[in-house]
Amino acid sequence: MTWSTADIPDLAGRRALVTGATSGLGYETALELLKHGADVLLAAREPEKAALAADGLARAANREPTVVELDLADLTTVEKAADQVGKTCDRLDLLVNNAGVMAPPYRQTADGFELQLGTNHLGHFALTGRLLPLLLKAPDPRVVTVSSIMHRTARGLTAADFRQPQQGYWKWDAYGKSKLANVLFMLELDRRARAARSNLLSAGAHPGYASTHLQAAGPELAGRAFEARVWAGINKVVAQSAAAGARPILYAATSPEARPGGYYGPRFEFRGTPKPTSPTRAAQDAALAERLWVWSVEATGVNPTLTVPS
State yes or no: is 179 an active-site residue: yes
State yes or no: is 49 an active-site residue: no
How would you write 15-33 as a 3-class SS string?
Answer: EEEEECCCCHHHHHHHHHH
Out of 27, 175, 209, 251, pick the active-site residue: 175
Please state, as a whole number, how many other Cβ atoms lie within 10 Å of the Cβ of residue 80: 16
Residue type, 86: G
- The residue among 161, 205, 187, 149 whose CA lies nearest residue 283 is 187
Q: How far apart are CA 149 and CA 270, in angstroms?
A: 8
Out of 27, 179, 255, 263, pick the active-site residue: 179
Out of 27, 147, 148, 177, pick the active-site residue: 147
- For the range 271-274, what are the long-range contacts, defined as Cβ-Cβ under 8 Å and sequence gap of 24 or more? 271/208, 271/209, 271/239, 271/240, 271/244, 272/208, 272/240, 273/1, 273/2, 273/3, 273/4, 273/247, 274/1, 274/3, 274/205, 274/247, 274/248, 274/250
| 31 touches 111 (CB < 8 A) | no
Q: Which residues contact 73 (CB under 8 A, 6 or more apart)?
A: 45, 109, 110, 115, 118, 119, 123
State yes or no: is 137 an active-site residue: no
3-state secondary structure of 247: helix
- The residue among 228, 279, 269 whose CA lies nearest residue 248 is 269
Catalytic residue ranges: 147, 175, 179
